[in-house]
Structure 1
Amino acid sequence: MTTSPSRFRIPPSEMEMIHSLLGRSPSLTEEAVFSAMWSEHCSYKSSRIHLRAFSSRHPRVKSGPGENAGIVHVSDGLSLAFKMESHNHPSFLEPFQGSATGVGGILRDVIAMGARPVALANSLVFGSLRHPKHRTLFQRVVEGIAGYGNPAGIPTVGGEIWFDDRYQHNILVNVMAVGIVNNNEIMSAKASQKGLLAIYIGNRTGRDGVSGAAMASRGFSKDGADLRPQVQIADPYAGKNLMEATLEIARKKLADSIQDMGAAGLTSSSTEMAGRAGLGMELDVSCVPLRDKTMEPWEILLSESQERMLVLSCPENAEKILDIARAWHLSAAIVGRTIQEPNFVVLRGEEQLASIPIKYLTENAPLYRRDFVITSDSTTSRSIPSLGGSHSLSDLFHRMLDHPNGGDPRWVYRHFDFEVQTRTVFGPGHDAAVLDLKTRSGSGIAISVVSLPHACSRNPYLGGAMLVSKAVTELASIGAFPLAITDCLNFGNPEKPVIMGQLQEAIRGIAEASAAFDIPVVSGNVSLYNETDGTSIPPTPMIGITGMIPALRKRIPGHIREYGLKLAIAGDLDNLSLGGSYLDWILEGEIQEPVPAVSFSRVSALLSFMLSSSSSGRIRFSRAVGRGGVARALLMMIKESTSMGIYLDCPFPLEPLGFFFSESPGRILVAYSAEEESWLDESAREWGISFLPLGRSVPGLWTIRFRNPEGLQKEWVENLPTLKSRFLRSLSQFMEE
C-alpha cells in the first residue's frame, strides 16, 4: 500500500504503521489524533523501555506512574500527591506564558488526584546572564512562575538555578507540585465502567496550544517564530476556580475519575481514561465549549487551552457536577461517554470523523530500541591545580561567588509568595522546604529539587546516582526521612546514539540509587529534543524528593543563630574528588579528577545518624555540603545574621581544595553545643561514618587555620561583611545590569 505524506509531520515509517494497523488511510481527524498520541511527548517511544528500570513498589505508595501524579501515604490518614514536569520549549518561545502554563499544568495533575496543592518548587537552567536575551528570558520565566502561583494561592517554597553557555538556545524550566489528600478521597484517571458521561469543565477551548505535544517533541531552529502560536495562555484566576470546583466534586464523590486536559488536550485525556479500563470513548466535538466557532474538529481535539478538566461520572451525578462548575464560573458540558467497544470514536453531531481502536494510540504506539553509545568521562587520574597566585583559596572562592551559580538566589524567590496557606516552616534558602501538615501528631513534610548539570554532563551514570544521594542528604540535614521521588529527564535528540547513551546511563544511575535507598519513583516526565540546529543540551536529569518529619519541633534549621556553638563535618570523608564540582566547572578543565562514585551505604548511614541526632535534639543547626563544597555550605550557614562568623582550626593534614570545594555526596556540616560532642562522636562511630570537629561559631570572623599535606600551617581569612555582600549581591547585580 502506498502511503501519502503526513499532514502532521508524522514520519513516513510511522505513517506506514498507521495504514497497516487501520487497514486503510486515516481520515484527517484520525491522522491528527495519531500525530499527538504518537508524539515523543505523549508516547515516550524513545524512553519507555528504559523507564522500566524505576521501581514504584513500596508499602506507602498508593498511586504510581500512569496516573496524573504519584501518591504516597504520610501519616494521620493523609497522603501526598506530587509530580515534576517540564515546560522547556514553550518557555523559550514565550517565557512568561510558557512558565506560567507549566505551573498551571502541574498543579492540575495534582488536583486531578483529589489533592489540594500546598507547594511548588522549580529547577531552572539558562544560558549565560551576560547575554541580554537570557537576562530577559530568566526574568520573564521567574515572573511567569510567580504570576501563576501567587494568584492561585500556592506557595513556591524552593528551587535551584544554573547558568551555562551550553543552554544558550534551549532553556530548561522544570516545576514540581505537591498536594495533600485524605486517603479516602484519592481520585484516579481510570474509568470504571461503560456508560459514564464525559463532562468537560473549565475554560472554553481555543486555538492556543494546538499541536503543542508535537511541538515539544522536536528541536528548534534558532528563530522558532513559527512555533509561538503553539504556546498556551495561562489564566490563574480561572485555574483557582477550576481547582475549587474539582476538589468539591472529588470531596462529594460525584466523579468516577478525573484527568487534566494537558498534552494533546481532549484527545489524550479521553483515550487514556477509557483505555486504562479496556473501554472505548465516544466524543462529540460539537458539544465542546469553544472560544472560536470556526475551529476544525482536529483543532478542538488537539487544543491545549489551559484550565480544563475531563470528569467521568455516572449519569445521575452529571447535573450536580455541571452545577458545581457553573457556580465557580466555569464552562461545563457533557461531551461524550464511555462505550464497551474499545474504540476512540469522534463525532460532529451525526457525522463520524474518526474511529480508532484505543490500543493503537496507546499500547501499539511505536516503541524504539534506539542505538546508543556510552561516552561517560573516563578520567581516572587525580590531578588538581596547585594553590598559589590566582589559585589561592580566597581567590577561587571569590570567583565562585561572583558567578550567579554561586551567589545567593534570593533575587528569584523574592518574587514568590512562599508563606501563603501558612504551612511554610522552612522556605527558600534551606536545604529543603518544610511544611506543616497541621495534624494532631505535629508532623511535617519536606520537599527538595535537585540537579547536577556539570556532574551529569561528565558522567551521566554517576551524576544520576549523585542526584539521588544529594537529595537524600538534603532531607537528612533537616531531620527528614525520604518518602518518594519524581523525576524530570531533560536530554537532546534521542535519535543520536550519544544522546541515547546519556539518557540510558542517567536512568541507570537514578534507578540504582533510589533502589539502594529504598525510595520509590512514583511519577515523572521525559523532555527530549532539547536541541537547536542540531546542537543538544548536556544531559540534565532533575529529581524532586519528598520526605517526612515525624515531629516538626525536632526539625533542624540551616542558619546558625548562636555564637559559641561547635562545628563539625559528618559523613563520608574518604572520597573528596573535585570531578564534576562547581569549582571544576569554573576552572574549565584544569581539574583532572573523575566524578566521584557514591557509597550508598555511607549516605544511608549518614541519614540514620542525622535522624537519630534530630529526634534526640543533639544538633542545633546543619547544612548539607553541595554546590561550592564545605566553603559555600559554611557561608550559607551564617549568611542570615549580619555578624555571625566562623573560626575553624583543623589540626589534621588536609588537601585544601578537595576538603573545602569537593561536592562528593554524603556530608553534612553540623553545629551543636559542646556537651553534645561525645554523644555525636560515638553515634557516628556506631553508624560507621566520620565525625570531624572543625571549630566554632563566632562574631565577625571568617578565619580558617589548617595544615596542608606537607604539614605547613596555613590560614584563610576573609573580610566577613565584604564576603557576605559579595554572595548576596551576585545574582541581583547581573539582573540589574
Structure 2
Amino acid sequence: METIEQLPTFETAKKLGLLPEEFEKIKQILGRTPNFTELSIFSVMWSEHCSYKNSIVWLKTLPRDSDRMLAKAGEENAGLVDIGDGLACSFKIESHNHPSALEPYQGAATGVGGINRDIFTMGARPIAQLNSLRFGNINSPKTQRLLKGVVKGIGDYGNAFGIPTVGGEIYFDDCYNTNPLVNAFSAGIVEVGKQASATSYGVGNPVFIVGSATGKDGIHGATFASEDITDKSTEKLPAVQVGDPFMEKLLLEATLEILGSGYVIGIQDMGAAGIICSTSEMSAKGEHGMIIDLDKVPTRQSNMHGWEILLSESQERMLVVVQKGKEDLIKTIFDKWDLHCAQIGEVTDTQRLHFYQHGKLIADVPAEDLVLGGGAPQYHRKYSEPAYYQEFKKFDINSVADINGQAELVKIAEHLLSHPNICSRKWITEQYDSTVGTANRSTNRPSDAAVVRLRNPEKGNLDKAIVITVDCNGRYVNADPEIGCQIAVSEAARNIVCTGGEPLAITNNLNFGNPYNPEVYWQFVGAVKGMSKACIKFSTPVTGGNVSFYNQSSDDGPVFPTPTIGMLGLLENTENHMTLNFKNAGDLIYLVGEPKNDIASSEYLYSYRDVKASPAPAFDLDTEFNVQQAIKELIQNKLVQSVHDISDGGLFITLAESSFTNELGFSIKTDAQLRTDAFLFGEAQSRVVISANNSQKDSIENLLRSKNVSFTFLGEVNEGSFIIDGETVITCKTAKNLYDNVIGKIMN
C-alpha cells in the first residue's frame, strides 16, 4: 500500500495520547509501522472516550439482563427495554463535560444533539429529555458564564429540535470550578420488532453518509475528552463541535422514514471519532469490512486531509448500510428532506477497513482490533483507598452543636431554602420547553420523577406512561463510593416509586477524575460495586451508558466522583400518578421509614456548619427496598394524597416542597429522642413523607405494620405556616419566595 513518506515515531504516538506499549501493539497488529492516518485512527479508537480501556473490566461486572431487555448493554447506540403494548423504550445518558468547560453553549447543545441521535438511530422517536449538571461556586463569574452558556445551549437545541426537557438536577460545589459536568439523557419510543441495529453485513451492500457535510470541527474530540483540563486546553477549541438542531430535526424524520422502508441493514450515529468510529464498530459487529472512498464524503472545507475527514466530529451525521439495489430509494428520501446522502463505499468480506483518497489507499486497518470488546486494550488499574476515607469515618455527631433555640432554627431554615443546591431551578427550567409534544404529565402535577404519556401508532394515547429520573449526590459518593452509589440507584428507584411507577432499568454516566490516579480509581471501583449491588436488589439492569474520566485539574484536583444514574420506570395506569404536593388542610402527615440521629454528609452539616469531612448518610439497602415496596402498595391502594421522598435538606425541605404548590403549610412535632437538627435536616436515607385523609389513618398504619416498615405520625397540613413544636418558623409564602428566586437573583 502507499503510505505517507515519513512514518510516525513514538513521539508522534505520544502526542496523540498513545502509550509506548500501545504503539508497539499497533505495529504488531498491522505487521508494520502505521502511517500517520492509521496512527490517528488507533489513537481515537483506543482513547478512553471510545475504548473504555480503563473501565471496561469493571463495567462487565454490572448486571445486564432482564426479561424486558431487547438490546445487549453497550452493543447498540442506546438501551432498549420492552414496556408492553407492543412498544419499547430506548434511553441513554452521555456526557459532554470537556467541551462544555471550554465552549459551554456548543458543548451543551451538541451533547443534547448527540444523545438524541443515539435514540433515533435505534428507530425510536425521542419523546423526553433530562439533564444532570454540576458547576463550581455559583457566585464565581466563571461559573455564571458556564451556567448561562450550558443552560442556553440545552434550551436552544432541545427547544428547536422539538423534544421536551421534563426534568433534571443541578448541584454546585467548588470541586467543579474547572470541570463542570454536563450529562444529557434522552428517551424515545419504538414499536417492538422495528428497532434498528448498529451493524454492517452483506458483501456489496452500499455504505452511505447522510445528514450534514463534514468539517474540521471536533477533530480529536475523543482524545481531548480523554485527558485532564489544563491552561492549554483552550488551544483545542477546534475539538468542540458545532450543532444545528434544525438540521437534526430533518435528519430525525429522514432516518425514521428510511428505517420504515425495511431496507436498512444497519445505522449508527457519528458521535465521538466520527466516520472511523462508525465504520469500525458497525463492521466489527457484523464481522465484515468496508471499502471507503473519502473523496465522496461531502465536506464543508476544501483540501481536508484523509485523517481529518475520518476523525471529524461534525454533528448531525449518520452512517447507513442499505440493501444493494435500494440506493435510489434512500437517496429519494434524503432529497425530500434536503439532506446530504452520499454513497461513500461498500461492504466487503475482508473484516478490514480500506480508506482511499485521491485514488490512493491511505489506511488499511482491521475493524475488530479497533473496537471496545475487540482488540482495543483493557487495563486492570491499581487502586488504593485514600487517607481521607478513614478520616471521614471518624466524624462524631457530638462534635457539632445542636440547634440553639428558635432563632437559629429560623436561620437554618432560611439558609437551606435559599441554598443553590436545594432551591427552585425555575431560572433554568423556564428556559426549556417542557410541554412541546403534549406528552409531559408533570408540568402541572409535580412529582418526584418525570411522567411522560405514551402513544401507540395504532391505538393512540395509552393509559400508561414512562417515568424517568436522573439522580446522584456526589458528596455522598465522595464520602463512601460504594454506599454513595447504592444511594444514587436507590434514590432514582425511590423517585420512580413515589411517583407511582415501577423501576425497570438504568443507564449511567460515570464522571470521575484521572483513572491513573490510584485513589480516583478506587472511587470508581467502589462506585461500580455499589451500583451493581443496588441494581440487583431493585431488578434494574444496566442498559449501557458512558464513562467520563479526566474530570480534574491541577488547581482543583478531581471532581467529586459523580456516577449519575438515569432510571426508566413504567406507570402501568396513569390514574396512579402520585404527586408530591399537599392537597388539603387537615390532612395527616406521616414519615415512612425510620428517623435517625444522623447528619452525616447533609447539606446542613456541609454548608451551614461548614463540616466537610463526614461519612455517607445512614443507609441500608434491605430497609430501602422494604420502604419502597410499602410505598408502592399505599399508592396502588389509593390510601395517600401525596408522596415525596426525603433527600437534600432533610425532612424540613421535603415538607416545604410539599407545601409550595397549593401554598399550604404543616404543623409537626419533632422526636424528643433525637437531636433536632438530625430530625429536621439530617439526610438519612430510606424515608418518605406521605399525606392522607384522616379516614385512611387505620388502613395506612395497618399496611405499614404488616410490611414491618417503621413510620411516625408527624402532624397535619395547615393553611400556610411552617409550625414546628407549636412555634411558627416561617410562613409558606415567605419560604416560597426565598426558594423560588435564588438562582434568578444571582444570575441576573
| Structures share fold, TM-score greater than 0.5 | yes
Q: How many angstroms does 1:445 deviate by?
A: 0.9
Query: 1 CA distance for matches of 2:679 and 2:228?
Result: 41
8 Å contact kept, 2:472–2:485? no
Query: Which is further off, 90-99 or 188-197?
Result: 188-197
Confirm whether residue 412 of structure 1 aligns to residue 428 of structure 2. yes
Q: What SS does the aligned partner of 1:424 have?
A: coil
8 Å contact kept, 1:390–1:396? no
Confirm whether residue 22 of structure 1 aligns to residue 30 of structure 2. yes
Partner in structure 2 of residue 369 of structure 1: 380
Confirm whether residue 689 of structure 1 aligns to residue 709 of structure 2. yes
Confirm whether residue 177 of structure 1 aligns to residue 186 of structure 2. yes
Partner in structure 1 of residue 509 of structure 2: 488
Q: Which residue of the other structure, out of 150, 166, 191, is the alignment partner of 1:157?
A: 166
Distance 1:231 1:651, change over 3 A: closer
8 Å contact kept, 2:504–2:539? no
Question: Residue by residue, what CA displacement relative to the aligned partner does 1:80-112 show, whole Å, maximum 9, x if unpaired?
Answer: 000000000001111100000000000000010
Query: 2 CA distance for matches of 1:621 and 1:574?
Result: 19
Query: 1 CA distance for matches of 2:407 and 2:88?
Result: 50
8 Å contact kept, 1:492–1:530? yes
Q: How many angstroms does 1:700 deviate by?
A: 2.1
8 Å contact kept, 1:462–1:597? no
Query: 2 CA distance for matches of 1:430 and 1:414?
Result: 17
Identity in percent: 34
Confirm whether residue 5 of structure 1 aligns to residue 11 of structure 2. yes
The aligned amino acid for 1:605 is N
Q: What SS does the aligned partner of 1:457 have?
A: helix
Question: Residue by residue, what CA displacement relative to the aligned partner does 1:126-157 show, whole Å, maximum 9, x if unpaired?
Answer: 01111111111101100000010001100000
Partner in structure 1 of residue 218 of structure 2: 209
Q: What SS does the aligned partner of 1:57 have?
A: coil
Question: Residue by residue, what CA displacement relative to the aligned partner does 1:629-656 show, whole Å, maximum 9, x if unpaired?
Answer: 11111111111234x1111135764322
Q: What SS does the aligned partner of 1:90 have?
A: helix
Partner in structure 2 of residue 555 of structure 1: 577
Partner in structure 2 of residue 633 of structure 1: 654
Distance 1:394 1:127, change over 3 A: same
8 Å contact kept, 1:170–1:530? yes
8 Å contact kept, 2:665–2:731? no
Partner in structure 1 of residue 548 of structure 2: 527
Q: How many angstroms does 1:431 deviate by?
A: 1.3
Partner in structure 1 of residue 564 of structure 2: 542
**Residues 41-80 of structure 1 mapped to structure 2, 5 A cutoff:** 41-63=49-71, 64-80=73-89
Q: How many angstroms does 1:715 deviate by?
A: 4.2
The aligned amino acid for 2:492 is A
Partner in structure 1 of residue 133 of structure 2: 124
Q: What SS does the aligned partner of 1:347 have?
A: strand
Query: 1 CA distance for matches of 2:737 and 2:208?
Result: 56
Partner in structure 2 of residue 505 of structure 1: 526
Unmatched tracts of structure 2, length 5 or more: 1-6
Q: How many angstroms does 1:198 deviate by?
A: 1.1
Confirm whether residue 718 of structure 1 aligns to residue 730 of structure 2. yes
Q: Which residue of the other structure, out of 720, 724, 745, is the alignment partner of 1:704?
A: 724
The aligned amino acid for 1:544 is G
Partner in structure 1 of residue 744 of structure 2: 732
Confirm whether residue 648 of structure 1 aligns to residue 659 of structure 2. no
Query: 1 CA distance for matches of 2:412 and 2:91?
Result: 39
Q: Which residue of the other structure, out of 586, 599, 603, is the alignment partner of 2:620?
A: 599
Partner in structure 2 of residue 610 of structure 1: 631
8 Å contact kept, 2:721–2:728? no
Query: 2 CA distance for matches of 1:18 and 1:588?
Result: 54
- Output the TM-score relative to the length of structure 1: 0.95
Query: 2 CA distance for matches of 1:226 and 1:398?
Result: 44
**Residues 10-409 of structure 1 mapped to structure 2, 5 A cutoff:** 10-63=18-71, 64-362=73-371, 363-375=374-386, 377-378=389-390, 379-383=393-397, 384-388=400-404, 392-409=408-425
Query: 2 CA distance for matches of 1:349 and 1:70?
Result: 39
Q: What SS does the aligned partner of 2:669 have?
A: strand
8 Å contact kept, 1:481–1:607? no
8 Å contact kept, 2:576–2:636? yes
Partner in structure 2 of residue 710 of structure 1: none
The aligned amino acid for 2:745 is Q
Q: How many angstroms does 1:184 deviate by?
A: 1.9
8 Å contact kept, 1:110–1:179? yes
Partner in structure 2 of residue 677 of structure 1: 697
Q: How many angstroms does 1:276 deviate by?
A: 1.0
Distance 1:356 1:567, change over 3 A: same
Q: What SS does the aligned partner of 1:717 have?
A: strand
Q: How many angstroms does 1:394 deviate by?
A: 2.3
Q: How many angstroms does 1:604 deviate by?
A: 1.9
Question: Residue by residue, what CA displacement relative to the aligned partner does 1:52-97 show, whole Å, maximum 9, x if unpaired?
Answer: 1211110000012221000001121101000000000001111100
8 Å contact kept, 2:596–2:678? no
The aligned amino acid for 1:610 is I
Q: What SS does the aligned partner of 1:369 have?
A: coil
The aligned amino acid for 2:50 is C
Unmatched tracts of structure 1, length 5 or more: 706-713
Query: 1 CA distance for matches of 2:729 and 2:319?
Result: 62
Q: How many angstroms does 1:381 deviate by?
A: 4.9
The aligned amino acid for 1:260 is D
Partner in structure 2 of residue 711 of structure 1: none
What is the root-mean-square deviation in Å for CA atoms of aligned residues?
Answer: 1.9
8 Å contact kept, 2:201–2:347? no
Query: 2 CA distance for matches of 1:630 and 1:192?
Result: 57
Query: 2 CA distance for matches of 1:664 and 1:432?
Result: 20
8 Å contact kept, 1:235–1:307? yes
8 Å contact kept, 1:578–1:591? no
Confirm whether residue 568 of structure 1 aligns to residue 560 of structure 2. no
Query: Which is further off, 684-693 or 325-334?
Result: 684-693
Confirm whether residue 455 of structure 1 aligns to residue 479 of structure 2. no
Question: Residue by residue, what CA displacement relative to the aligned partner does 1:285-319 show, whole Å, maximum 9, x if unpaired?
Answer: 11111111211000000000000011111112222
- Output the TM-score relative to the length of structure 2: 0.94
Query: 1 CA distance for matches of 2:357 and 2:208?
Result: 16
Q: How many angstroms does 1:389 deviate by?
A: 6.7
Distance 1:630 1:320, change over 3 A: same
8 Å contact kept, 1:170–1:537? yes
Distance 1:617 1:55, change over 3 A: same
The aligned amino acid for 2:319 is L
Query: Which is further off, 435-444 or 58-67?
Result: 435-444
8 Å contact kept, 1:170–1:531? yes
Query: 2 CA distance for matches of 1:575 and 1:524?
Result: 34
Query: 1 CA distance for matches of 2:418 and 2:10?
Result: 57
The aligned amino acid for 1:667 is R
Q: How many angstroms does 1:600 deviate by?
A: 2.2
8 Å contact kept, 1:473–1:667? no
Query: Which is further off, 626-635 or 368-377?
Result: 368-377
